Amino acid sequence: MKSKAVWISCILTALFCGRSANAKVIITLDQMGPNVVATSSGMVDLTDLKPRGQVRCSPTRFATCAAPEIDPSRAFLVLSTLVDFYGSVSGPTSFGSGGLEQASTLTGDGAGIRGIFNGIVVNEIIVPSGYVSDTPIFGTATWDNTTIAALGADVGTFTWTWGTGAHVDSLRLIVTPEPGTLCLLGTSAIGIAGMAGRKFKLGN
């Protein structure tokens, strides 16, 4: 019965923390100790996307231009500082209620998403400036001394899609539960399985 409980716990863990291979770009938002880390990896097919322009950050504009920052209320997550925007994307316009929060550090140049800009739904994919279609992309951003809940991001999987035929593509954002929440889920699963085991023994 113990193995059954562990099996159920593993299923719950996979549901909340599993990385799907059904998107060419995966961005994960994880609690890493006292910090929150976003990791972007994969490739973007630009064929059916429409260029929307480029933004470069400077010290005086860092808080308002494209920068390593997150805004769940606008489905905005960017992991680069010099970026190109591409439109013709379908997907959610938010992944939580949190506002704009600038990251503490950035490594590499990753893909990102922007759902709303200046109150208008734009649904755009963000890539590093000069990005070449279908080439590997990777970047991480870290928000120090905070939590996913404090950033206002909802736990779950959020998907944006674009393209047709051979050029169908997608970006998937996976926001995982904080470790304490996942531990509680696992403990609950073990408890439920244990109760089921006791009932089974009593009935037989």
CB 126 within 8 A of CB 113: yes
Residue 88 is predicted with a pLDDT of 94
Interatomic CA distance for residues 80 and 48, integer angstroms: 22
Closest residue by Cα to residue 88 from 125, 120, 45: 125
The average pLDDT across 121-130 equals 94
pLDDT above 50 for 153: yes
pLDDT of residue 124: 95
In the prediction, which pLDDT does 2 show? Answer: 42
Summarised one tens digit per residue, pLDDT across range 80-97 is: 988 999 999 999 999 999
3-class DSSP state of 91? coil
Contact 112, 77 (CB under 8 A): yes
For residues 174 and 153, is the Cβ–Cβ distance under 8 A?
no
Q: How confident is the model at residue 56 (pLDDT cuts 50, 70, 90)?
A: low
For residue 15, the model assigns a pLDDT of: 43
Q: Tens digits of per-residue pLDDT, 158-201?
A: 999 999 999 999 999 999 988 754 444 443 444 444 444 444 34
Both tokens of residue 173? 């954002």
- Rounded to an integer, what is the distance from CA 65 to the centroid of its chain? 20
Q: Are 197 and 12 in contact (CB under 8 A)?
A: no
Mean pLDDT of the chain: 80
Sorted by where each begins, the domain ranges of the chain are 23-178
Q: List the structure tokens of 9.
A: 């716990």
pTM value > 0.85 = no
187 C-beta neighbours (distance < 10 Å), count: 12
